[in-house]
Structure 1
Amino acid sequence: MDKKIIAYDLGTSGNKASLYDKDGVCLASTFKSYDTLYPGIGMHEQRPSDWWNSIVASTRQLLEETGVGKNEIECLAISGHSLGVVPINNAGELLRESTPIWSDSRAGAQAEAFFQKTDEKSWYMITGNGFPAQLYSAFKILWYQDNEPDVFEKIDKVIGTKDYINYKLTGQVKTDYSYASGCGVYDLKGWGYSDELLQASGLDPDIFPEIVPSTEIIGELTAEASESIGLPRNVKVAAGGVDNSCMALGARNIESGRVYLSLGSSAWIAVSADEPVLDARSRPFVFTHVIPGMFTSAVSIFSGGNSFRWLRDNFFPDLIEVSAQSGQDVYELMTEMAANSPIGANKLLFNPSLAGGSSQEPNAEIRGAFSGLDLGHTRDDLLRAGMEGIAMNLGAVLQVLKSFITLSDEMVIVGGGSKSELWRQIFADVFEMKIIKTNIGEDAGSLGAAALAAVGSGLWNDFSKMDQIHKVESTLEPIPENTAIYRKLDPVYEVLRQAQGQIGSSLANLDI
């Protein structure tokens, strides 16, 4: 009987459960969505019970649809969305029906108060927490303290998304280094919670869970969990990791200098290395890698595929209808049109910052724009400019990483945007790097979690199998003539970025 692995990718929109064989080949997967709640301004919450129900339902469906016997499952692990703050009491009971997720920004006042007594740049250099500070866990816990004292007084531990599921599975309250590194009081280079930052926060260190390696088997299934999800009690549960680091592992970032691009709704470029990439000005966001002794440092834009989707919905409803009638993917239709426009889109530029700016962009208030529009431009040009603008914006933030660390000359691309050959060529030309598409596609996070379970349970000795699992489907190299055009456009594009930042700030301050 071949041993198998279940990996869960517990994401913002839902949970994907995937079944892997012992060699890391994905045999099947299933997805269960859940809701995000918006109870107030800046408040984004999900129900931990929904996460658990999605785990239960997806596991049972996976076994039923594949016909795999439950006794074939050797181990499992979870990749979980970051910065979760699930409060439980000393009996392990939830203290809130719904809890803030990574994008919840309610803790602005708590972050501001913290930085009145702690230097903000020093905090960043200790933690590598490059997102807006109010998103990080410690400040949300302080929000509990200030706004829900009755809840706060009952808290025994505050744990992350995947750590809550691990608790439901095993009864063990633990986290791993990758998830802990997003808590807001973690010392990256010290490999543990920072006494200095804990003292500044006023939080009891015991409110945070014990940290263990991502591959550590934290336990086997409890009787209750076994009955709920339909797996035997001897299934081993690895600690798992935060989604960013699991995706890095799944994108074969297993050696220093390897880099990948995730092109989904948002987009980021991450490099894995033996040292974190830290810069108090440009603020790369850093997580401890799930691979011992390594870090994954990233730069991002908040709207990648989302901006392309916005173009689809607002300018190309006819293509949506054609897609519905023909069965051809709407994005393939859009790409075909974009290919009719020359490199540079007839001097039409697009800034894709429709969701505001990351720390590597001029400011948070930046907003998107087409620039250079004239009466001669066509819909083909709009699409080409959209694809090029997303690539050029990522190329601008990529320079942050390139200025601090030597990168590999090739970049693996994962996520939905990886399907477009035209877009991959644009990235190759803009980045001046080889762009590699493999068979993994949108499954990098799941594969990373499966690898953690495999190593933790002893099915694998190490992570070297990742290179064998990835089968290269396409390698596109930069075309010098194309790259030369983008280098001419770079300074003009930078003028657009800076101008949009200024315009965005001005608009944000208007009282209208």
Structure 2
Amino acid sequence: MKVIAYDLGTGGVKASLYNEKMETLAKSFVEYSTNYVGRLHEQNIEDWWNGVATSTRKLLADSSTSADEVRAVALSGHSLVSIPLDTNNSPLEMHVPIWSDGRAVDETQEFFKSIPYEEWYMTTGNGFPPECYPVFKLMWLKKHKREIYDKTCKVAGSKDYINLLLTGNLCTDYSYASGSGVYDLRKQMYRKDFLRVANLKEDLFPQIVESHSIVGYITDEAAKFIGLKSGTAVACGGVDNGCMALGAVGAEEKKIYLSLGSSSWVPVNSRKPVLDFKTKPYVFAHIEKDMYTSAYSIFAGGSSYRWIKDVISDGNTRDYEWLNAQAAMSPVGANGVIFNPSLAGGTTQDRSVNIKGGFIGLTLGVKQKDLIRAVMEGVALNLKYSVDLLSQQTEISDEILICGGGSKSDLWLSIFADVFNMKIRKTNVDQDAASLGAAAIAMRSIGLWQDYHLIPHLHKLEKLTLPDKENTEKYKKIQKKFLKVADMLAQLGDEFVEIDNQ
């Protein structure tokens, strides 16, 4: 008995095949592209479907598994997508805006004339820039492509569209619905008054079911295309943030983890959504009913590290091991250099979206190794602020799981332990947390699991990094400087925009 989990991400689809013991038998990754034109960030939905098919066939071939052995599939899908569908559930557009698309700025301003921004945020927990959320993208669609909007009967999220192609049935789960821009976190339902204010059809968003609900079974047509057996169960699945939270720390309260990828974030599991209008943590319904995953993020975590590698390499071959070795020769505090990692702009925890990255504290004595270490410390110091904000608003555990590409660096793990003053855990799950979460959903959908209590037991500890007391005390002082630098850069960013607009 086997299940397949699909992690439909921004850069491609990662597929994993698991057996009944939740051991990984095979993995596949199929990349697809995003078209970036200013604020417009679009993907071709055919690429998702083709990626699912290609990865499925590869999994079966690589593991010598027959289609008959796969009992169920489930998807984790990237968030804030709304694909317009006609009355036959056929897509009206093949290129659709993804989560980071920011075209709907004017529409947000129009909406907030009737519904105050604070009321909307405290209801939905939607802490990303508002224009990223589907309700505003649909307002944009109605204004700029009225002929498409008028034909739209329903809208589908990324993983829900794949489920539709697999089964012919359309619905969504609570975690994905919570990123719609019209979902009430506490009442666990769409707010029709928000849809009315947006001047949108009140039944655009699909019916909500639990993530482990079976939405249908793979049709004959879909089975031929992707290589699975018709009649295979398809679970509803969940949003990527929810599946990653499930796979990383299960459904236990107070548990936090750090995802150290290109962008980086720190979420916490809780029974109540963590809401604060000033700093705007972004909140999704958890895969587990009546739970939430609330997070702060930075847009350039691992990508800041990649940036310094590319800048320093300048055409030479410099790998991350070399980078780590250089940074290890620089002392705590990087010889006085502080780096702010806002290379991709500010998030809600910053004082301004206009903040830019930067080094401060440069002297003639600063070496290349200090710049590298300053980047690693800057990312950790920024995410420490995220941890501090969460700890002020809810209870968190005294250790943190780290996953993502950055977890491969022992030096960076030590820096995080010292900056956070927490135990840092790295396990075998690492970058596969979302896949593990989706696989757990599939297992529950066919009754092999009754809940998610086994997930923590699937994590095998690979490294436990403890904080060094002396270094922690040093970083407490550096953190104060870092926050002052961040405030200064945010202020300068606003002032520079004013100058540019003169």
Instruction: Mark yes or no: TM-score above 0.5.
Output: yes
The residue number in structure 1 matching 2:18 is 20
Compute the TM-score of the two structures, normalised by the length of structure 2: 0.98
- Taking the TM superposition and a 5 Å limit, the aligned residue runs for 1:456-467 are 456-467=445-456
Name the SS of the counterpart of 1:224 in structure 2.
helix
Match of residue 412, structure 1, among 393, 401, 408: 401
Offset from partner CA, 1:300-359 (integer Å, 9 cap, x none) = 1111011111101112336x515xxxxxxx112111110001111111110010000100
1:61 and 2:55 matched: no
The residue number in structure 1 matching 2:272 is 275
1:184 and 2:181 matched: yes
Q: Distance in 2 between matches of 1:508 and 1:65?
A: 53
Aligned residue identity for 1:63: L
Deviates more, 1:230-239 or 1:173-182: 230-239
The residue number in structure 2 matching 1:343 is 332
1:479 and 2:468 matched: yes
Name the SS of the counterpart of 1:307 in structure 2.
helix
Q: Distance in 1 between matches of 2:500 and 2:355?
A: 17
Q: Distance in 1 between matches of 2:189 and 2:414?
A: 41
Aligned residue identity for 2:21: D
Q: Distance in 2 between matches of 1:498 and 1:24?
A: 46
Offset from partner CA, 1:462-509 (integer Å, 9 cap, x none) = 111111110011111111101000011122111100011011112223
Contact kept? 1:271, 1:296, Cα under 8 Å: yes
Match of residue 430, structure 1, among 413, 419, 432: 419
- Taking the TM superposition and a 5 Å limit, the aligned residue runs for 1:191-230 are 191-230=188-227
Q: Distance in 2 between matches of 1:394 and 1:508?
A: 26
Q: Distance in 2 between matches of 1:103 and 1:270?
A: 19
**Overall identity of the aligned pairs, in %:** 47
Name the SS of the counterpart of 1:7 in structure 2.
strand
Q: Distance in 2 between matches of 1:449 and 1:119?
A: 36
The residue number in structure 2 matching 1:327 is none
Name the SS of the counterpart of 2:216 in structure 1.
strand
Contact kept? 2:250, 2:456, Cα under 8 Å: no
Tell me the CA shift for residue 46 of structure 1: 0.5
Contact kept? 2:419, 2:475, Cα under 8 Å: yes
Q: Distance in 2 between matches of 1:495 and 1:220?
A: 56
Offset from partner CA, 1:370-418 (integer Å, 9 cap, x none) = 1001011111111111100000011112211011011000100010001
Tell me the CA shift for residue 205 of structure 1: 2.0
1:159 and 2:159 matched: no
Q: Distance in 1 between matches of 2:35 and 2:481?
A: 41
Match of residue 433, structure 2, among 413, 432, 444: 444
- Taking the TM superposition and a 5 Å limit, the aligned residue runs for 1:84-483 are 84-317=81-314, 321=317, 330-483=319-472
Structure 2: unaligned runs, 5 residues or longer: none
Q: Distance in 2 between matches of 1:258 and 1:316?
A: 38
Q: Distance in 2 between matches of 1:253 and 1:269?
A: 15
Q: Distance in 2 between matches of 1:451 and 1:138?
A: 30
Q: How many correspondences in the alignment?
A: 501
Deviates more, 1:200-209 or 1:408-417: 200-209
1:29 and 2:27 matched: yes
Aligned residue identity for 1:386: V
Name the SS of the counterpart of 1:452 in structure 2.
helix
Offset from partner CA, 1:12-58 (integer Å, 9 cap, x none) = 111011111112111111111111113x4300001111100111111
Q: Distance in 2 between matches of 1:278 and 1:252?
A: 21
Contact kept? 1:253, 1:260, Cα under 8 Å: no
1:47 and 2:36 matched: no
Q: Distance in 2 between matches of 1:507 and 1:65?
A: 54
Compute the TM-score of the two structures, normalised by the length of structure 1: 0.96
Structure 1: unaligned runs, 5 residues or longer: 323-329
Q: Distance in 2 between matches of 1:252 and 1:456?
A: 20
Q: Distance in 2 between matches of 1:275 and 1:248?
A: 15
Flag as ranges the 4+ runs of structure 1 deviating above 3 A.
Answer: none
Aligned residue identity for 2:405: G
Q: Distance in 1 between matches of 2:339 and 2:282?
A: 25
Tell me the CA shift for residue 199 of structure 1: 2.5
Q: Distance in 2 between matches of 1:209 and 1:195?
A: 13
Q: Distance in 1 between matches of 2:96 and 2:426?
A: 37
Q: Distance in 1 between matches of 2:332 and 2:79?
A: 38
